[in-house]
Amino acid sequence: MELSRRDTILKLIVEYFIKNAQPVGSQTLIQEYGLEYSSATIRNEMQSLEELGYLEKTHTSSGRVPSSEGYKYYIEHLRHKDLDEEIKYSLQTILQEKNKSIEDVLKESCEILAHMTQLASVVLGPESDSESLVSIQIIPLSENSATAVFVTDKGYVENRTFVLGDSVNMQDVQKCIELLNNRLKGTAISKLPEKMESIKPLLSDYVKQHDIIYQAILQTFLKLASDRINTYGRSSLFEQPEYSKDADKLKKMLALLDNPECLRSIIADGSSGDVEIKIGNITDELTDASVIRAKLSVPGHDLGTIALVGPKRMDYDKVVSALEYIAEQLDKYFKEEKGDDSEDVRKE
Amino acid sequence: MELSRRDTILKLIVEYFIKNAQPVGSQTLIQEYGLEYSSATIRNEMQSLEELGYLEKTHTSSGRVPSSEGYKYYIEHLRHKDLDEEIKYSLQTILQEKNKSIEDVLKESCEILAHMTQLASVVLGPESDSESLVSIQIIPLSENSATAVFVTDKGYVENRTFVLGDSVNMQDVQKCIELLNNRLKGTAISKLPEKMESIKPLLSDYVKQHDIIYQAILQTFLKLASDRINTYGRSSLFEQPEYSKDADKLKKMLALLDNPECLRSIIADGSSGDVEIKIGNITDELTDASVIRAKLSVPGHDLGTIALVGPKRMDYDKVVSALEYIAEQLDKYFKEEKGDDSEDVRKE
DNA sequence: AGTTAGCACTCGAAATAAAATAGTGCTAAG
DNA sequence: CTTAGCACTATTTTATTTCGAGTGCTAACT
């Protein structure tokens, strides 16, 4: 489909700006892309586009820069939608590996993405009520220590070491773990801390140093139930002129990436399924950053969320295409692999 | 002990510069610390100190700045050596918690340190030949997946998920793990990959899809044997004027922190025991950074290494005192806790 | 009616010049 | 040995100029 002159100009401005991080003037557009219109015509179109809210000026006599609305329009109507071959190939390799936990697949995909897009990426574990405890194992390490391993149905593992001595002994820990295994298998990890509360009396009848052990296990459960969030490619952000030229902005951005709660609140909300995009005004502090987010799931199963974070000026086409590709491939993979078992999966 | 006039002046210059990141002039010293000597006298001393190699000038008519030698002299002869109460208290809380793996204790200590000193901190796991495999457990997650958990004697846990299907079945994985458990218990994690090689033939007689499983487990072993390295408080570095005013320097620093191999090579070498300090010329790129490192161990047992990384101008007194305190407390803790079992420990 | 050449005008960035500041080193006197 | 006094130096700050990329508008052109 042929684009209108106006759309062509908007598209080129967005793409030039994404690439060069410089406001775009009418002259530039002609030189760079050999547009057939005169600079005055282009200026007129630019003026209209500005009135429509798609472009902005940094000062009275500067070139134009896309507004948040401009990016949004670009993403919806103008982007190419074809995924960079290099990214596709890299992701393919990772997504097709069997015997890897989803955790690891998402992690590695995000590393790739961060590297290829020069943005920071974030992986947020699945919601804690769609993940349940499968088993607790106790493994003696030496005469005086043992580690307890907690495994969830998503293949996530958490562990806690007990140093035995006057205050704690092996039998007690073992009894305790046995009891918990019986009582807690299949419990959603978000429910573990409260269920633990109800088991407390039982424990105290049964085990000598119940309080120390109880506290330790409760802590582990809290950790298990809290969001697992990891970031990658922080240092990629240096390559972005927005940040390499403005230390303060970079600082705020990295502060966000270092703050799990805040990051979570930005990335977690929103519905499952499609790729979602927030342009500008990510937080009160970060008014010119963007977040692109994909919540990955197979029907009824939350697999976690991945997101890319960076300056408002980012290659939306590339990022959106890549995230869509990941979502699609994971979907395909689960349909294939599970096959007829899928019934069982959906029941949970 | 009274310090000589020269030492007093050097001490004050180092401390002023550490605090304010500004070259120190004779006038400043008088105003700030009420020194009894005239500015000319101080200038003369400064000149001598410069000739001795302890001070430097940034340009002909600037104030003085400590040289690497100057810092070294300060650390050896002039620092206060008393640990900040706040740091001490925070560390105490962490170091006294029982039932926590060393891994976690070091991690949390480093987080505290990074925060309190405004530096980045690094934890490097113990050397891989002083850590051995204790057990492998296989835990079914659902009809078509299972996770294998690998535990070391230091309480470190690694895991790998197997998706069952056409290519892999439960019996095979189970048989495999059983075999490995029998053969590999007690093996140093650095030796696992090569020992695995020798087991390969056995496996192929025994298990159908040995190759896929073999590869997966080998990968896990490699991961287990590779250095575990984590960094904390990267963003603290922004508070340092060295980095907030020089994006390029910051970039290089963060690149180092993002590069596990390079970081390892800087932090890992050197002997066990004392706190070691490298001032300036950390890498070819980072000529004005410093690293302070403490390899923590109980006799015969490497517990890992922690390090603080930052600009050459850092509060050496605070950092060294804190690291010494951690080393000392861990030592005490292990002596207490292990008690008469210490014989057994030393044998390994 | 839509397009374009021409031109005055705007604002920021880069270059230049001037002033202010914080320091040194040296000399000569106390 | 210490220090007051002073000439000298380099950086930082501030002010001034110049330059250029870009706009908006008007009037002519197709």
**CB of A156 within 8 A of CB of A126?**
no
Average pLDDT over chain A reads 90
Residues in chain B: 348
Mean pLDDT of A296-305: 86
Average pLDDT over chain B reads 90
Dig out the tokens for A322 from the structure: 């890549």
Q: Which of B96, B99, B189 to mutate to test the interface with A (most CBs of A within 10 A)?
A: B99
Distance A292 CA to C24 C1' (A): 57
For A8-37, write each residue's pLDDT tens digit: 999 999 999 999 999 999 999 999 999 999
Q: For residue B309, give the nearest of B270, B246, B264, B245 by alpha carbon.
A: B264
Q: Would the pLDDT of A127 be above 50?
A: yes
- Residue B162 has its nearest CB partner, among A99, A139, A157, at A99
Q: What is the pLDDT of residue A334?
A: 75
Q: What is the pLDDT of residue A248?
A: 84
CB A244 within 7 Å, strand D: no
Residue of chain B with shortest Cα separation from A159: B157
For B221-230, write each residue's pLDDT tens digit: 999 999 899 9
Rounded alpha-carbon distances, angstroms, from residue A308 to A297, B171, B338:
18, 40, 47
Residue nearest to nucleotide D2 (CA to C1'): B41
From CA A108, how far away is CA A116, in angstroms rounded?
12
Dig out the tokens for A130 from the structure: 């769609």
A149 Cα to chain B: minimum distance (Å): 8
From CA A140, how far away is CA A147, in angstroms rounded?
6
Dig out the tokens for B118 from the structure: 């405004």
Q: What is the DSSP annotation of B257-268?
A: HT-HHHHHHHHH
Q: Would the pLDDT of A346 be above 60?
A: no
Residue of chain A with shortest Cα separation from B333: A163
Q: What is the pLDDT of residue B102?
A: 84
Mean pLDDT of A189-194: 94
The answer to whether the Cβ–Cβ distance between B244 and A245 falls below 8 Å is no
The answer to whether the Cβ–Cβ distance between B235 and A212 falls below 8 Å is no
Q: What is the pLDDT of residue A298?
A: 82
Of all residues in chain A, the percent with pLDDT exceeding 90 is 68
Mean pLDDT of A130-136: 94
Bigger pLDDT: A143 vs B81 = B81
Among A66-80, A282-296, B119-133, B331-345, the minimum mean pLDDT is found in B331-345
Q: How far is CA B30 from the centre of its chain?
A: 39
Q: What is the pLDDT of residue B196?
A: 93
Of all residues in chain A, the percent with pLDDT exceeding 70 is 96
The answer to whether the Cβ–Cβ distance between B234 and A234 falls below 8 Å is yes
What is the Cα Rg of chain B in Å? 26
CB B281 within 7 Å, strand D: no
How many distinct helices (H) and strands (E) make up chain B? 14, 10
For B16-42, write each residue's pLDDT tens digit: 999 999 999 999 999 999 999 999 999
Dig out the tokens for B12 from the structure: 């004050």
Q: Which of B111, B143, B147, B346 to mutate to test the interface with A (most CBs of A within 10 A)?
A: B147
Angle, CA of A133, A134 and A135, to the nearest 5°: 105
Distance B55 CA to C30 C1' (A): 30
Q: For residue A46, give the nearest of A74, A96, A12, A87 by alpha carbon.
A: A12
**CB of A262 within 8 A of CB of A117?**
no
Q: Would the pLDDT of A220 be above 90?
A: yes
- Residues of A from 57 to 116 whose C-beta is within 7 A of strand D: which are they? 57, 61-64
Q: What is the pLDDT of residue A164?
A: 83
**Helix A192-206 to helix A210-225 angle, to the nearest 10 degrees?**
170
**CB of A134 within 8 A of CB of B161?**
no
- Residue B141 has its nearest CB partner, among A149, A153, A161, at A153
Q: What is the pLDDT of residue B271?
A: 74
Question: Residue B144 in 3-state DSSP?
Answer: coil
Question: Residue B313 in 3-state DSSP?
Answer: coil
pLDDT band, residue B338 (cuts 50/70/90): low
Q: What is the pLDDT of residue B337?
A: 58
Dig out the tokens for B161 from the structure: 């998920």
CB A55 within 7 Å, strand D: no
B226-250 burial string, b = 16+ CB within 10 Å, else e? ebbbbbbbbbbbbebebbbeebebb
Of all residues in chain B, the percent with pLDDT exceeding 90 is 68
- Residue A144 has its nearest CB partner, among B139, B149, B338, at B338
The answer to whether the Cβ–Cβ distance between A163 and B337 falls below 8 Å is yes
- Kindly list the residues from chain B whose CB atom is less than 8 angstroms away from the CB atom of residue A162: 99
Q: What is the pLDDT of residue A1?
A: 65
**CB of A307 within 8 A of CB of A260?**
no
pLDDT band, residue A109 (cuts 50/70/90): very high
Mean pLDDT of A283-296: 95
pLDDT band, residue A264 (cuts 50/70/90): very high
For A240-261, write each residue's pLDDT tens digit: 999 988 888 988 999 999 899 9
**CB of A94 within 8 A of CB of A326?**
no
- Nucleotides on chain C that have an atom closer than 7 A to a protein CB are 3-6, 9-12, 22-27
From CA B2, how far away is CA A347, in angstroms rounded?
79
Q: What is the pLDDT of residue B56?
A: 97
pLDDT band, residue B340 (cuts 50/70/90): very low
- Residue B247 has its nearest CB partner, among A160, A244, A257, at A244
Burial of B255 (0-12, 13-18, 19+ CB in 10 A): middle
Query: What is the side-by-side strand order in the sheet with A275-279?
Result: A229-232, A120-124, A301-311, A289-298, A275-279
**CB of A72 within 8 A of CB of A316?**
no
Distance A46 CA to D7 C1' (A): 62
Q: Which residues touch A59 (CB under 8 Å, ≥6 apart)?
A: none
From CA A311, how far away is CA A250, in angstroms rounded?
10
CB pairs under 8 A between A and B: 139
Q: Would the pLDDT of B339 be above 60?
A: no
According to the 3-state scheme, what is the secondary structure of chain A? CCCCHHHHHHHHHHHHHHHHCCCECHHHHHHHHCCCCCHHHHHHHHHHHHHCCCEEECCCCCCEEECHHHHHHHHHHHCCCCCCHHHHHHHHHHHHCCCCCHHHHHHHHHHHHHHHHCCEEEEECCCCCCCEEEEEEEEEEECCEEEEEEEECCCCEEEEEEECCCCCCHHHHHHHHHHHHHHHCCCECCCHHHHHHHHHHHHHHHCCCHHHHHHHHHHHHHHHHCCCEEEECHHHHHHCHHHHCCHHHHHHHHHHHCCHHHHHHHHHCCCCCCEEEEECCCCCCCCCEEEEEEEEEECCEEEEEEEEEEECCCCHHHHHHHHHHHHHHHHHHHHHHHHHHHHHHHHC
pLDDT band, residue B341 (cuts 50/70/90): very low
Task: Give B132's DSSP letter.
Answer: B
pLDDT band, residue A337 (cuts 50/70/90): low
pLDDT band, residue A116 (cuts 50/70/90): very high
Q: Which residues touch B196 (CB under 8 Å, ≥6 apart)?
A: B184, B214, B217, B218, B221
Q: Would the pLDDT of B163 be above 90?
A: no
Q: For residue A213, give the nearest of A263, A163, A257, A247 by alpha carbon.
A: A163
CB B63 within 7 Å, strand C: yes
From CA B280, how far away is CA A78, in angstroms rounded?
51
Q: What is the pLDDT of residue B345?
A: 40
Q: What is the pLDDT of residue B50?
A: 98
Strand B120-124 and strand B133-142: pairing? unpaired
From CA A214, how far away is CA A204, in angstroms rounded?
9
The answer to whether the Cβ–Cβ distance between B143 and A168 falls below 8 Å is no
Q: How far is CA A235 from the centre of its chain?
A: 17
Q: Would the pLDDT of B195 be above 60?
A: yes
pLDDT band, residue B342 (cuts 50/70/90): very low
- Residue B143 has its nearest CB partner, among A245, A247, A344, at A344
Distance A50 CA to C4 C1' (A): 21
Mean pLDDT of A141-148: 89
The answer to whether the Cβ–Cβ distance between B139 and A141 falls below 8 Å is no
From CA B328, how far away is CA B320, in angstroms rounded?
12
Q: Would the pLDDT of B12 be above 70?
A: yes
Among B54-63, B276-285, B301-310, B328-337, the minimum mean pLDDT is found in B328-337
Strand A120-124 and strand A301-311: pairing? antiparallel
The answer to whether the Cβ–Cβ distance between A143 and B344 falls below 8 Å is yes
Bigger pLDDT: B340 vs A301 = A301
Burial of A41 (0-12, 13-18, 19+ CB in 10 A): middle
Mean pLDDT of B85-112: 90
The answer to whether the Cβ–Cβ distance between B345 and A142 falls below 8 Å is yes
Dig out the tokens for B80 from the structure: 């206060």
Q: What is the pLDDT of residue B347?
A: 36
